[in-house]
Chain A
Amino acid sequence: MNRIVDYTVGEPIRDAKAPTGPIEDRWETRKFKARLVNPANKRKLHVIVVGTGLAGGSAAATLGELGYRVTSFCYQDSPRRAHSIAAQGGINAAKNYRGDGDSIYRLFYDTVKGGDFRARESNVYRLAQVSVNIIDQAVAQGVPFAREYGGLLDTRSFGGAQVSRTFYARGQTGQQLLLGAYAALERQIAAGNVTMNTRHEMLELIVSDGRARGIVVRDMVSGEVETHLADAVVLATGGYGNVFFLSTNAKGCNTTAIWRAHQKGAMFANPCYTQIHPTCIPVSGEYQSKLTLMSESLRNDGRVWVPLAKGDARAPGDIPEDERDYYLERIYPAFGNLVPRDIASRAAKNVCDEGRGVGPGGLGVYLDFADAIERLGRDAVEEKYGNLFEMYERITGEDPYRQPMRIYPAVHYTMGGLWVDYDLQSTVPGLFVIGEANFSDHGANRLGASALMQGLADGYFVLPATIGDYLADAHRFDPVDDVAVAEAEISVRTKINRLLSINGTRTPDSFHRELGRIMWEFCGMERTEESLNKALELIPSLREEFWRDVKVSGTAEELNQVLEKAGRVADFFDLAELMCVDALHRTESCGGHFRAESQDADGEALRDDEHFAYVAAWEWSDQGPILHKEDLEYEYVTMTQRSYK
């Protein structure tokens, strides 16, 4: 039997470096106190930005505009293809253009509450403040947001928010925002301020004298291992939802960059906080390679139901009204089909566990538009959701105008990530982390349309203002230590060679699938002490098998997608283990983390503020992880249990 990882408790984190004083002044205070770098010196300062999504693309462009020398990396063939491109629904901002009572304070309040009181007040307030500037910036770049007939911007209410603060560009908001950031980035590339390296994968961080000073990458076309040095490194490499194999993330999304940084000293915060999105197209078979999100906005008009009776195999149209269970409307009469994501997901799992699920394997529930079509007419429904209905039909071969959609929850977003302070700096000086890759603003649950906001806030506004304070000292940094560089390169080459030399009998994908199944079953929507212990038994033994029996074809000196995959899977194993340790230690339920042992009489998530109102920041060590707690204090928003009944 494998030993289950033990963790130890280390020193608490006492200072996340947010200024004190009234919350609305803190960001101004920080910006004012941050030292500036004079323009002539900026040109001598070199910053590496890994990732070209909303966070990395906007950061690299902005740092270039400010006059820094920037080198940027992504694994796709163009920076425009980062997975931010796939975001559908929209982006929040406290513009209050509708005059419906929105404000910076309300967005702040909703985000802290939505995060189930596990995010920092100072960070979230700043996010809400900066949100306003994002919309201005995007519009000036030519992002074609939806408009009303008067020519002003349209907004909608999203994910159960009571105000209409979500700006959108049909169902392609992420695409349009990313193309805006991409255009700004390309402009800086043309100006010579940013050097772009596409099809390059970061495989190691270089830490010299305790500072992040560079990275080791593999050129994915030639296979060459390259070293890039700089005065600071920014990671904007996105989320790690693919640890579950099936998720709404792109196939290439990975944890490698942040995991390497973690092993080099950057703490990993709240790894177990995962968001499971309730409305995705269900799995259709063993060969399934990814899951597709159906926008949350569908719940505005669709009604969710399952048959009342177990194992009812009739076609949906043959099941009469009184033999259907509109379970969200029944259990949550106040919010009905619009309850938050985590609640809707768990409710779907519960009815399927009861044997009332529909479709292949009983893993699906209906999302029915019949009433909406009758009430609004088919044209109106088509106008609103046409592209989504088409996408559904393309994938399933079923026509949602005539029969209800089948949906099921899927892994969608990871709130956890590398720990950063108020300046977005990790525990390794000079290593900054932005976008989904950090843990900063969403607590235990992210609200719809808030990830795009955070990525762009970090990249356009926050990081460019804080990184200068660090770089103001750069002239005092020691030259990069050759030994540190050599070690990083050797570790990359050793791992590549090891993967290629095993020559076993199973493909990287088959291991990844199995790891994903373990994570979904035992560390997914509902977690228990027993399930997590089980996962912690299974993961190490599967990892051991991986390192003994994986088969990686081809060589290191060519485009080798199997090798790329194998490297990513290897890191997912280690991350998966830490996620389970984190989930096991947090015996409360909060946000996306549901521990079955911690629920109230109605089966709702029960927080334990007395013991768990902290950020769990894990330090890596080969003796097992070390937990550092950062206590969360709430000066403005009173902690309450969420209720959507």
Chain B
Amino acid sequence: MKITLKVWRQKGPSDKGRLVSYVVDDVSPDMSFLEMLDVLNERLILTGDDPVAFDHDCREGICGMCSMVIDGTPHGPQRATTTCQLHMRHYKDGDTITIEPWRAAPFPVVKDLVVDRSAFDRIIQAGGFISVPAGSAPDAHSMPVAKNDADDAFDAATCIGCGACVAACPNGSAALFTGAKITHLGLLPQGQPERMARAKAMVEQMDAEGFGGCTNTGECVAVCPKGISLDVIGRMNADFLKSSK
């Protein structure tokens, strides 16, 4: 297949950036989206052009590194699929695809499609943990956990921290990401002692980083590659309210 790409090129944080068109011939339907970009980059290197910088690592949908807005949708058209797991068989010969970085003030562009997501790490630093130094834990069976709670906690814990939720949200809110961690730890008995303090600290950090407020548009869950549920935001808000009482 022959595909035309319009790719966001931006040299650095202070550069204005623009869309540049490239044509990639010989795209095979079995290629992954990133493999198609590899092919483009190999060509750009040889012609002495600057290849497109993009983040990626595991290429199996779990590290959360890949991050592209494809035709206006973070991670592209397939539901519950990261960019690296998107395959070209979903496109046809002659298609034009626009590729842009995550766009949100707290995620400044580093170069081309690469953005800085360290704000997420700082939200975790604020309280996204259970304080238990190595070697101080009691036997794992000393605290049974109801299967439902464990399963629900797991569902929230599968968040890969990619940031698609923020990129999709008209307000640039990080509520789904933050709520997922608060829910994961808050559902478990181990997470109770720090639960309210955690919710307060994480929400405050989220605001301090400049993420917008959540107005329940639900765009985040539509693009979340791991299917995190909107319920986590409700839970975050409830815990936050209780913590501020």
Residues of A within 8 A of B (CB): 58, 61-62, 65, 76-81, 83, 85-86, 95, 97, 133, 135-142, 144-153, 169-170, 172, 175-176, 179, 182-184, 186-187, 189-190, 196, 198, 221, 250-252, 284-285, 287-290, 292-293, 391, 394-397, 460-461, 464, 505, 507, 509-510, 551-554, 558-559, 561-562
**Which residues of chain B come closer than 8 Å to A144, judged between CB atoms?**
150-151, 153-154, 157, 184, 188
Residues of B within 8 A of A (CB): 11-12, 28-32, 34-36, 38-39, 42, 44-46, 48-51, 53, 55-65, 78, 81, 85, 87, 89, 110-111, 114, 116-118, 120-121, 124-126, 128-141, 143-147, 150-151, 153-154, 157-158, 160-161, 184-185, 188, 190-191
Establish whether residues A140 and B130, one from each chain, have CB atoms under 8 Å apart when the complex forms. Answer: yes
**Which residues of chain B come closer than 8 Å to A183, judged between CB atoms?**
124, 128-130
Establish whether residues A176 and B51, one from each chain, have CB atoms under 8 Å apart when the complex forms. Answer: no
15 interchain pairs, CB-CB under 8 A: A76-B57, A85-B160, A86-B63, A141-B137, A151-B147, A182-B124, A183-B124, A186-B124, A287-B28, A293-B60, A394-B81, A460-B135, A509-B42, A553-B50, A554-B50
Q: How far is the CB of B208 from chain A (nearest CB, A)?
A: 13
Q: How far is the CB of A564 from chain B (nearest CB, A)?
A: 11
**Complex-state Cα separation, A135 to B142, whole angstroms:** 12
Apart from A76-B63, A251-B58, A559-B114, list 12 A-B contacts with CB within 8 A.
A62-B134, A85-B64, A137-B132, A137-B135, A142-B191, A147-B145, A147-B147, A147-B151, A183-B129, A287-B36, A552-B45, A558-B111
Establish whether residues B59 and A289, one from each chain, have CB atoms under 8 Å apart when the complex forms. Answer: yes
Choose one: B38, B118, B134, B147; the contact of A77 (CB below 8 Å): B118
Q: How far is the CB of A221 from chain B (nearest CB, A)?
A: 6
**Which residues of chain B come closer than 8 Å to A559, judged between CB atoms?**
53, 110-111, 114
Establish whether residues A186 and B49, one from each chain, have CB atoms under 8 Å apart when the complex forms. Answer: no
Q: A553-B50, A558-B12 are in contact. Are A175 and B62 (CB under 8 A)?
A: yes
Q: How far is the CB of A165 from chain B (nearest CB, A)?
A: 13
Choose one: B58, B61, B124, B134; the contact of A65 (CB below 8 Å): B134
Choose one: A62, A80, A561; the contact of B64 (CB below 8 Å): A80
Q: Is the interface of B mostly helix, strand, loop or mixed?
A: loop
Q: A139-B190, A179-B157, A397-B87 are in contact. Are A221 and B110 (CB under 8 A)?
A: yes
Q: With CB as the reference atom, state the residue of chain B lying closest to A396.
A: B30
Q: A186-B124, A289-B38, A562-B51 are in contact. Are A250 and B129 (CB under 8 A)?
A: no
Q: With CB as the reference atom, state the residue of chain B lying closest to A181.
A: B134
**Complex-state Cα separation, A562 to B41, whole angstroms:** 9
Establish whether residues A78 and B117, one from each chain, have CB atoms under 8 Å apart when the complex forms. Answer: yes
Choose one: B56, B63, B144, B190; the contact of A152 (CB below 8 Å): B144
Choose one: A61, A176, A391; the contact of B134 (CB below 8 Å): A61
Q: With CB as the reference atom, state the residue of chain B lying closest to A80.
A: B161
**Complex-state Cα separation, A140 to B192, whole angstroms:** 12
Q: How far is the CB of B189 from chain A (nearest CB, A)?
A: 10
**Complex-state Cα separation, A498 to B97, whole angstroms:** 37
**Complex-state Cα separation, A366 to B34, whole angstroms:** 27
Establish whether residues A139 and B147, one from each chain, have CB atoms under 8 Å apart when the complex forms. Answer: no
Establish whether residues B134 and A58, one from each chain, have CB atoms under 8 Å apart when the complex forms. Answer: yes
**Which residues of chain A come closer than 8 Å to B36, judged between CB atoms?**
287
Q: A78-B121, A147-B145, A290-B59 are in contact. Are A553 and B44 (CB under 8 A)?
A: yes
Establish whether residues A460 and B134, one from each chain, have CB atoms under 8 Å apart when the complex forms. Answer: yes
**Which residues of chain B come closer than 8 Å to A152, judged between CB atoms?**
141, 144
Q: How far is the CB of A242 from chain B (nearest CB, A)?
A: 11
**Which residues of chain B come closer than 8 Å to A251, judged between CB atoms?**
56-59
Q: With CB as the reference atom, state the residue of chain B lying closest to A503.
A: B48
**Complex-state Cα separation, A183 to B51, whole angstroms:** 35
What 4 A-B pairs have minimum CB-CB distances, sorted nearest first? A151-B144, A140-B137, A183-B129, A190-B125
**Which residues of chain A come closer than 8 Å to B120, judged between CB atoms?**
78
Establish whether residues A142 and B57, one from each chain, have CB atoms under 8 Å apart when the complex forms. Answer: no
Establish whether residues A186 and B128, one from each chain, have CB atoms under 8 Å apart when the complex forms. Answer: yes
**Which residues of chain A come closer than 8 Å to B58, judged between CB atoms?**
81, 83, 85-86, 250-251
Establish whether residues B132 and A140, one from each chain, have CB atoms under 8 Å apart when the complex forms. Answer: yes
Establish whether residues A169 and B154, one from each chain, have CB atoms under 8 Å apart when the complex forms. Answer: yes
Q: A250-B57, A287-B39, A553-B45 are in contact. Are A186 and B184 (CB under 8 A)?
A: no
**Which residues of chain B come closer than 8 Å to A184, judged between CB atoms?**
129, 132, 134
Establish whether residues A142 and B190, one from each chain, have CB atoms under 8 Å apart when the complex forms. Answer: yes
**Which residues of chain B come closer than 8 Å to A135, judged between CB atoms?**
140
**Complex-state Cα separation, A510 to B111, whole angstroms:** 24
Establish whether residues A136 and B137, one from each chain, have CB atoms under 8 Å apart when the complex forms. Answer: yes
**Complex-state Cα separation, A151 to B148, whole angstroms:** 9
**Which residues of chain A come closer than 8 Å to B128, judged between CB atoms?**
183, 186
**Complex-state Cα separation, A176 to B144, whole angstroms:** 18
Q: How far is the CB of B84 from chain A (nearest CB, A)?
A: 9
Q: How far is the CB of B142 from chain A (nearest CB, A)?
A: 9
